């Protein structure tokens, strides 16, 4: 299983401290600012990731971190877009987790430019559209992020199992941004 994101670093920075660059490979130093992972401190990322793990007993922590990273990329793109974006069911699981950390979520949305409300819909494969998912993936790419395609499959795909029992459909979907993005 290949992923564009390495696992999250351990909590190395204290509250108010700037994390050091997180990952290296043979050709590139990727600083925390280069990924959606940088939107949260190490401590906040790990706290939210553990919420995903708590809601999905037996889930591999690496998978939970991948889900959270893509949820953060989705949230960043959604905050800059005037509606029409929908997370996959798997990424929606990652979106639910920071929402439960209300202060963190409010602060994160403010830094991203607008509060992104979550209005769940019951799963209904008849309402789901792969074109809506592709539109969202394109918006995430336009925001400068890469998606983990394995996490962006349709609602009937069982490759990754999550507890979330909601989906979001189409451009008229239930994502509300306050204030409305400019531009």
pLDDT at 170 over 60: no
pLDDT at 14 over 70: no
- pLDDT tens digit sequence for 140-161: 999 999 999 999 986 666 666 6
Tokens of 115: 């509060």
- pLDDT tens digit sequence for 35-86: 899 999 999 999 999 999 998 999 999 999 999 999 999 999 999 887 678 8
Farthest CA pair distance, the chain: 47
- pLDDT tens digit sequence for 92-131: 989 999 999 999 999 999 999 888 888 777 666 666 667 7
Q: How many whole angstroms separate alpha carbon 135 and alpha carbon 171?
A: 9
Amino acid 119: pLDDT? 76
pLDDT at 5 over 50: no
Start-to-end C-alpha separation, the chain: 38
pTM of structure: 0.71
Q: How many whole angstroms separate alpha carbon 45 and alpha carbon 107?
A: 14
What distances in angstroms separate CA 82 from CA 20, 79, 108, 122, 136, one per listed residue?
34, 8, 18, 23, 12
**Structure confidence at residue 11 as a pLDDT band (50, 70, 90):** very low
Place of tokens 């990329």: 73
What stretches of 14-169 show up as alpha helix (H) in DSSP?
42-55, 61-79, 89-100, 102-112, 130-142
Comparison of pLDDT for 85 and 6, the residue scoring more: 85
pLDDT at 171 over 60: no
Tokens of 114: 């607008």
pLDDT at 175 over 80: no
């Amino acid at each position: 299983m290949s992923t564009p994101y390495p696992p999250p670093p351990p909590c190395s920075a204290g509250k108010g401290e700037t994390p050091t660059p997180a990952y290296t490979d043979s050709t590139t130093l990727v600083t925390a600012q280069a990924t959606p992972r940088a939107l949260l401190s190490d401590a906040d990322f790990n706290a939210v990731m553990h919420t995903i793990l708590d809601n999905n007993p037996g889930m591999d922590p690496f998978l939970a971190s991948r889900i959270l990273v893509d949820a953060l990329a989705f949230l960043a793109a959604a905050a800059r877009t005037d509606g029409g974006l929908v997370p996959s069911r798997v990424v929606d699981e990652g979106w639910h987790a920071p929402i439960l950390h209300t202060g963190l979520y409010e602060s994160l949305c403010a830094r991203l430019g607008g509060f992104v409300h979550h209005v769940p819909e019951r799963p209904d494969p008849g309402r789901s559209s792969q074109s809506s998912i592709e539109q969202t993936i394109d918006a995430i790419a336009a925001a400068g992020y890469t998606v983990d395609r394995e996490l962006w499959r349709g609602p009937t795909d069982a490759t990754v199992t999550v507890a979330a029992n909601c989906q979001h459909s189409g451009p008229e979907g239930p994502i509300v941004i306050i204030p409305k993005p400019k531009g």
